[in-house]
Structure 1
Amino acid sequence: MKRILLVEDNIAIRENTTELLELANFQVIAACNGQEGLEIALTEKPDLILCDIMMPEIDGFHLLEILRAKSTFEKTPFLFFTASAEQSEIKKGLAAGANDYIIKPFDADELIELVSKYVGK
């Protein structure tokens, strides 16, 4: 079973997204901010990271930067999960090394399809 690290500070979005991914047979490890996400990533080594951008402690861009600097995470798919549909934010994330992004609110099928594209089922 593929393990997804979900880093999202909004509890309702975090819980709903966790449930959607678990129903699609992914194992989800959830973090409520970037600092917790970093600690979990380093110990759990997930197959994919789904990360909000605007969060307390460490934002998504900084989390991506920290993880990409470590050889263990050079190839780990990192997807931004953001309410910001601004092209500048999307371009900044992709330039920083993110593999893809999904804009909130999202369609459940779209989320599952995107995650599956990077880690399979």
Structure 2
Amino acid sequence: MKRILLVEDNNAIRENTCELLELANYTVLSACNGKEGLDMALKEKPDLIICDIMMPEIDGYHLLEILRRESFFENTPFVFFTASAEKSEIKKGLDAGANDYITKPFDADDLVQLIVKYLGE
């Protein structure tokens, strides 16, 4: 079963998103900030990472930068999960090496389709 790491500092969003992904038959690991997300990613080696941008400890951009330096994560799909639909923020994330992004609030079907795009069914 494919494993997804969700890094999100908002408890309600993190819990609801984890539940939604579990109902879609994914194994979900979750972290409440960038430092915890980094530690979990290095330990668990997830198949895909969904990450908020603005977080305490380590923000999403820095987390992506650190992980992309690790050979294991060079090709791991990384999706930014952001409340900002600003084109400049999205471009910054994609230029930094993210594969994609989804804006919050999100449609559950859109999120699952995005994951299927990278992990298959």
- TM-score normalised to the size of structure 1? 0.99
- TM-score normalised to the size of structure 2? 0.99
Matched, 1:35 2:35: yes
| Counterpart amino acid of residue 53 in structure 2 | I
User: Identity of aligned pairs, percent?
Assistant: 78
| Counterpart amino acid of residue 32 in structure 1 | C
- The equivalent residue for 2:102 is 102
Query: Aligned partners of 1:15 and 1:116: how far apart in 2?
Result: 21
Q: Structure 1 residue 113: deviation in Å?
A: 0.4
Query: Aligned partners of 1:116 and 1:15: how far apart in 2?
Result: 21
- The equivalent residue for 1:69 is 69
Deviations 1:8-54 (A, max 9, x none): 00000000000000000000000000000000000000000000000
Any runs of at least 4 consecutive aligned residues in structure 1 with deviations exceeding 6 A, and if so which? Answer: none
- The equivalent residue for 1:91 is 91
Q: Structure 1 residue 116: deviation in Å?
A: 1.0
- The equivalent residue for 1:78 is 78
Aligned residues: 121
Query: Aligned partners of 1:119 and 1:19: how far apart in 2?
Result: 18
Q: 5+ residue gaps in structure 2? A: none
Q: Structure 1 residue 120: deviation in Å?
A: 1.4
Query: Aligned partners of 1:2 and 1:10: how far apart in 2?
Result: 24
Query: Aligned partners of 2:4 and 2:103: how far apart in 1?
Result: 18
Query: Aligned partners of 1:23 and 1:86: how far apart in 2?
Result: 30
RMSD: 0.4
| Counterpart amino acid of residue 117 in structure 1 | K
Q: 5+ residue gaps in structure 1? A: none
